[in-house]
Amino acid sequence: MIRRFLRTLPAIIIVFAMLSALTAPQVNAEDIPSASGKLELTQEEKDYISSHNTVTIGYVQDRIPVSFSDDNGEFAGISRYIFDHISELCGIKFKYVALPAGDITYSYLVNGGFDLVSSVEFNEENKHAKGILISDPYLSSKKVVVANEGTDFKYDAELSIAISTGSQTLKKVLNAAYPNFKLVDYSSVPECFDAVNSGKADLLMLNQHVVEYWIAKPIYEKLKVIPVLGLDDKLCFSAVFDYTGEGSPTQEEGAVLIGILNKAIALMSEDEVGAYTIQAISENQYDYTFSDFLYHYRFAAISIAVFSVVIIVLTAILSHQHVRLLENKANENAKNRFLSTMSHEIRTPLNGIIGLNNLMSQKIEDPDRLKEYLKQSDVTANYLLSLVNDMLDMSSLQAENLELSVKPIELDVVINTVNSIAKGPITDKQIKFSMKSDLMWKQIVGDEVRIQQVLLNLLDNAKKFTPAGGTISVETKQKLLGNGKVLTTVKVADTGKGMSEDMQKHVFDTFAQELDSVSKGNQGTGLGLPISRKLALLMGGDLTFESRKGKGTTFTFTFTGRPTSISEKQEWEELDSSKSEQGDKKPRILVAEDNELNGEIILEILNNGGFEADLAENGRVVYKMFAESKPGTYGLILMDLLMPEMDGFAAAMAIRSLDRPDAKDVKIFACTANSLPQDRKKALDSGMNDFITKPLDIEELLRKIKDND
């Protein structure tokens, strides 16, 4: 209780003083007491106070917690508390103006109308400097050195020391005390810390309170603090005047002002200054940010970083693709519907991720809760990714440049996979689910990914609009067409609420949705059915429906594909067999990625998948590493497209042009956030074998790598 009272005592004193100031009459020379137990002022000093209602003080704004600008741009810190107290003691009102970062010239202060400058170092050089008069110290603390682990502070060593450009006096002190030191300018205190932390500078020297604030930042956990004997940090006021010669009026006024301040400073006890110091430090401790949380838990937080990448990619794609889409929409209602839908679809999962991040920051010491939050974030991020994929599909389908990946497939395996994925979520909702298939041609040529996509879209749609206790059924049949192709028909029927007549007219319109109590809170974007219809048409079939309000809906999905010949099936099986015979042989992978975090994530994914991998930070490095390696060292290159010095396209072409046996055979996969069709075409034209988009689908990445072993 006593400790709490002592902490709040300075604040109580300040509030009381402010209230007193508000009710006090205007100060006149005759009203100032000369022997009241406070300030004993001369008549000249009284006259100065009565004629100067406000004195302008320039303060340094990057010395937390000593002197800085708070979130509202107001002067704050230990110095502010002391200045306000001095103002109450002497009756002078102070106007606080932040000084700009960097070297502050004398002419700037004179022409800027500054009467005083705060946080000036009290030393012999400043005592005799032209154009300024300094006060007695109002705050004394220690100077300390911050250095990297392994760096010793030796007085005669040749070390580089980071200096904030606002600390010009400190430069002169260091030059005199340590002539072997190389002083390097940085624009702010945080940049000085970053320079030492990264090894660009050996050490920095600052006020102890400032160092204690910044050293709490987790990224600086390897930095150490070294006390410096004989170098105290004494801060004082400096009165600025236009020196036109000794005895000039402005110099005399400065001397009077400094005299008043010295008397006020002398009245302050060490206990008062100490109380202000403790209060300012306790109120301005380093604010542990989310980026600090990510650094402290950087390995566990890789998933969160991936989510951030998803959000960035999503924003970029939406800003590019949707604007093009909206430009083709003449109907203003369609634009409004699109904006409303996308706002809801983006904001809802983003709100979830932001909320989960906040919860994680509160449960830092609870690994089990963190894991649970990460799982929930993963589900939300996957939804955002599906939204991106839907937008890309819709864009490609409307531009008529989406190509099917046609190959021999096992249709019964495809249907069983859909059953495995969809059954759980449907039965969890207490809906009866059944699948029947009558397949006469199980081996056909088709695009299994797109077939699965349409079926899962239809089942997800049925689940949304079917209440608990309802039924969803899937029935598959086939027949041979006259052109030798097989027509596969899949009917997805539900006993849900059905569609209104108005909704049935727009069911395949982009962003079409129907609100009802069953689907409320699980709407989706309205892209699934339009995409499914276009994919069905692309596969030589169609997507139709029958629906009755209150009775349910049946979608009929058809697609064509020729039966797989015996020779094709044998070739396919032999190819699979040859891949499996390779056993554990896995290619060494070269990853070209200029983003350090993304590079670490990809390497971790590959290592967890059992692959050995090396990282190159740009296209020129990846080309050099491949060119200087022994032939056959690398079996695969994951190539980012946009990189400094040499982009991925140029790097791929340079590798293909090398005169070595593996230059033409090494697999090169584009691995990029550039997901437009023209980017894919340009990548393939430059000699790449495949195209993988970010954010990475880890299972797809590992599958493609294994398929190319």
As separate numbers, helices (DSSP H) first and strands (DSSP E) second, the chain gives: 25, 24
Q: What is the pLDDT of residues 283-324, one digit of tens each?
A: 888 776 766 666 666 555 566 666 666 677 667 666 666 556
Contact 507, 530 (CB under 8 A): no
pLDDT given at position 650: 93
Q: Is residue 293 part of a domain?
A: no
Same domain, 133 and 151: no
Same domain, 66 and 102: yes
pLDDT given at position 709: 60
Is 387 a residue whose pLDDT tops 50? yes
The residue written with tokens 């050089």 in the block is: 125
Q: Is residue 345 part of a domain?
A: yes
Q: Binning pLDDT at 50, 70 and 90, where does residue 107 land?
A: confident
| 158-174 mean pLDDT | 75
Q: Looking at the 3D structure of the chain, how many domains does it have? A: 5
Residue type, 125: E
pLDDT given at position 31: 40
pLDDT given at position 23: 37
d(CA 650, CA 264): 70
Q: Binning pLDDT at 50, 70 and 90, where does residue 639 land?
A: very high
Q: What is the pLDDT of residues 504-537, one digit of tens each?
A: 888 887 655 554 444 444 555 567 788 889 899 9
Query: What range does the domain containing 432 cover?
Result: 407-566
User: Of 195, 212, 234, which residue constitutes the final position of a domain?
Assistant: 234
pLDDT given at position 432: 95
Is 24 a residue whose pLDDT tops 50? no
d(CA 431, CA 427): 5
pLDDT given at position 168: 61
Q: Binning pLDDT at 50, 70 and 90, where does residue 32 land?
A: very low
R_g of the chain, CA atoms, integer Å: 36
pLDDT given at position 82: 92
Is 693 a residue whose pLDDT tops 70? yes
User: Of 234, 250, 266, which residue constitutes the final position of a domain?
Assistant: 234
Q: Binning pLDDT at 50, 70 and 90, where does residue 113 land?
A: confident
432 against 396, higher pLDDT? 432
The residue written with tokens 């204690």 in the block is: 212
Same domain, 258 and 217: no
652 against 370, higher pLDDT? 652
pLDDT given at position 486: 93
The top-scoring range by mean pLDDT among 25-34, 161-170, 237-246, 627-636 is 627-636
316 against 550, higher pLDDT? 550
pLDDT given at position 286: 79
Going by C-beta distance under 8 Å and a sequence separation of 6 or more, which residues neighbour residue 255? 133, 239
Would the CA dihedral through 677, 683, 688, 691 be positive or negative? negative
Question: H-type helices in 24-127, by residue range?
Answer: 43-51, 78-90, 106-111, 124-127
183 Cα distance to chain centroid: 33
| 680-709 mean pLDDT | 82
pLDDT given at position 676: 75
* Pairing relationship of beta strands 223-240 and 116-121 according to DSSP bridges: antiparallel
| 389-402 mean pLDDT | 60
Q: What is the pLDDT of residues 57-66, one digit of tens each?
A: 999 888 888 9
d(CA 382, CA 310): 9
Q: Is residue 423 part of a domain?
A: yes
The residue written with tokens 């800003």 in the block is: 319
Q: Is residue 264 part of a domain?
A: yes
Query: Residue 409 class from Cβ within 10 Å (0-12 exposed, 13-18 middle, 19+ buried)?
Result: buried
pLDDT given at position 121: 82
d(CA 647, CA 635): 20
d(CA 39, CA 53): 18
Q: What is the spatial order of strands in the sheet that 75-76 belongs to?
A: 62-63, 67-69, 75-76
CATH of the domain at 213: 3.40.190.10
Is 572 a residue whose pLDDT tops 50? yes
* Pairing relationship of beta strands 223-240 and 139-148 according to DSSP bridges: antiparallel
pLDDT given at position 292: 67
Q: Is residue 695 part of a domain?
A: yes
591 against 13, higher pLDDT? 591
Q: Which of 182-196, 242-256, 643-657 has the lowest mean pLDDT?
A: 242-256
Same domain, 454 and 555: yes
Going by C-beta distance under 8 Å and a sequence separation of 6 or more, which residues neighbour residue 12? none
Same domain, 452 and 547: yes
What percent of the chain shows pLDDT beyond 90?
22
Same domain, 192 and 248: no
Average pLDDT value over all residues in the chain: 78
Same domain, 221 and 244: no
Identify the three-state secondary structure at position 223.
strand
User: Of 342, 372, 398, which residue constitutes the final position of a domain?
Assistant: 398
What separation in angstroms does the CA of 87 have from each of 18, 44, 82, 239?
11, 18, 9, 16
pLDDT given at position 500: 85
Q: Is residue 275 part of a domain?
A: yes
pLDDT given at position 494: 95
pLDDT given at position 493: 95
| 556-561 mean pLDDT | 94
Same domain, 240 and 222: no
116 against 333, higher pLDDT? 116
Contact 156, 180 (CB under 8 A): yes
Q: What is the pLDDT of residues 441-493, one digit of tens each?
A: 989 999 888 898 899 889 988 998 899 999 999 999 999 988 889 999 999 99
Q: Binning pLDDT at 50, 70 and 90, where does residue 686 land?
A: very high
Q: What is the pLDDT of residues 606-620, one digit of tens each?
A: 888 888 999 999 999
Is 96 a residue whose pLDDT tops 90? yes
Same domain, 319 and 428: no
Same domain, 555 and 626: no
The structure tokens listed for 689 are: 């074998």
CATH of the domain at 692: 3.40.50.2300
Same domain, 28 and 58: yes
Query: How many C-beta neighbours within 10 Å does residue 619 have?
Result: 26
Q: Binning pLDDT at 50, 70 and 90, where does residue 698 land?
A: confident
Is 4 a residue whose pLDDT tops 50? no
What percent of the chain shows pLDDT beyond 70?
73
CATH of the domain at 412: 3.30.565.10
pLDDT given at position 452: 86
Contact 65, 59 (CB under 8 A): no
Q: Is residue 630 part of a domain?
A: yes
Same domain, 204 and 249: no
pLDDT given at position 282: 85
DSSP assignment string, 124-160? HHHHT-TTEEE---SEEEEEEEEEETT----TTS--E
43 against 230, higher pLDDT? 43
Q: Binning pLDDT at 50, 70 and 90, where does residue 436 land?
A: very high
d(CA 196, CA 175): 19
| 695-703 mean pLDDT | 77
